[in-house]
Chains A and B, each alone.
Chain A
Amino acid sequence: NAGVTQTPKFRVLKTGQSMTLLCAQDMNHEYMYWYRQDPGMGLRLIHYSVGEGTTAKGEVPDGYNVSRLKKQNFLLGLESAAPSQTSVYFCASSDRRGNYGYTFGSGTRLTVV
């Protein structure tokens, strides 16, 4: 089925470790986004991309890096994980016109101990 796929679904990291979250979409969408959601809160935008090779900062970009080398993939990297980065991470994509809103992935639950 068409949509947004996130890998991995779960991960436990030790403080200081690094990892990369992968987001892949097969809808030929121009725009892609990374959000985080902490317990009892709404989603907050980390970084986003409006096209291949472009990235931009969102509301809470510190401690994260992103890359969009291919149109269908958007990678989120944590260089040195901290307990404050324990969260559920959601990737989303949308077409240029945004007529049908964003399509979200099912999330990655990350715990940093």
Chain B
Amino acid sequence: DAKTTQPTSMDCAEGRAANLPCNHSTISGNEYVYWYRQIHSQGPQYIIHGLKNNETNEMASLIITEDRKSSTLILPHATLRDTAVYYCIVRVAYNTDKLIFGTGTRLQVFP
């Protein structure tokens, strides 16, 4: 599975959009981009995933560049409860092999 690079930390004002970048320059054609978050010491929570088209669900939007070498997770209206560590992971869909977590981006939403 391809490796990802994320900023260590980011801040965002409550009510504003939080844009979390992720670089995955070695991504293969059959690898998807997954996003998870971990609030405090809880178990990670799945957010969204995509292959090459932009995706949106009730939690967030995922924008993947045309060359697929980077992506951005967008939380449209960040709240204090969105403060968490966000993990960007690339892997082959339906692959039974390990889901590799890096150190992620610590997002702090402030009032």
Chain A partners chain B: yes
Residues of A within 8 A of B (CB): 4, 31, 33, 35, 40-45, 48, 50, 58-59, 88, 90, 92, 96-107, 109
Q: Which residues of A contact B103 (CB under 8 A)?
A: 40-42
What total of chain B residues lie within 8 Å of the partner, measured CB to CB? 21
Q: Which of A4, A45, A88, A100 is in CB contact (< 8 Å) with B99? A: A45
B44 → chain A, closest Cβ, in Å? 5
A102 adjacent to B99 (CB under 8 Å)? yes
Residues of B within 8 A of A (CB): 34, 36, 41-46, 49, 87, 93-96, 98-104
Docked pose: A90 CA to B99 CA in angstroms = 13
Q: Which residues of A contact B102 (CB under 8 A)?
A: 42
Docked pose: A44 CA to B100 CA in angstroms = 7
Docked pose: A104 CA to B39 CA in angstroms = 12
